[in-house]
Amino acid sequence: MNKTASRALFTVVMCGICIQPAIALDLLWLNQSPARHFTDEDWDLAKEAASKALNTAKDGETVSWKSPTSDTHGSFTPLSTSTRQDTTCREVRTTNHARNLDGGSVINFCQQPDGDWALVSNNARK
């Protein structure tokens, strides 16, 4: 996945918004997203925290990140871990803040055969 596609996917995750089909084509909500204001350094810190939360944090353990140069920050908290057909899946609470904007959501991820984590719908986990 190229850097632009990766950043776009991560933006959706970090925004803490579950897009419904009716609004999926209207991306104006991104203008009010904290992630819109992330610097490259913020993205790197957030991705590092997300990776740590998904790969090593216990359920209920929060992995936080904070920019050393601004008030931008966030966290990832695995809420539950399950296995389906030999695939590890995790439900993770995300929070983020930038420029007086806050966001958060609960996102479902499943680990892919190559070790990467992918977003999945609630139905795919069951």
Task: Give the type of residue at 14.
Answer: M
Residue 65 confidence class, pLDDT cut points 50, 70, 90: very high
Q: What are phi and psi of 66, to 5 degrees?
A: -150, 135
Residue 57 confidence class, pLDDT cut points 50, 70, 90: very high
Average pLDDT, rounded, for the chain: 79
Give the pLDDT confidence score for residue 4 in this predicted structure.
Answer: 45
Q: What are phi and psi of 105, to 5 degrees?
A: -165, 175
Give the pLDDT confidence score for residue 21 in this predicted structure.
Answer: 39
Q: How many CB atoms lie within 10 A of CB 117?
A: 19
* Range of lowest pLDDT (35-39, 81-85, 97-101): 35-39
Burial status of residue 30 (CB atoms within 10 A of its CB: 0-12, 13-18, 19 or more): middle
Segment 66-93 mean pLDDT: 93
Segment 87-113 mean pLDDT: 92
pTM greater than the 0.85 cutoff: no
Give the pLDDT confidence score for residue 75 in this predicted structure.
Answer: 96
CB contact at 8 A, 53 and 76 = yes
CB contact at 8 A, 109 and 90 = yes
What Å distances lie between residue 55 and 23, 51, 97, CA to CA?
32, 6, 23
Domain spans of the chain? 3-125
pLDDT above 80 (res 123): no
pLDDT in tens, 25-40: 345 555 667 888 788 9
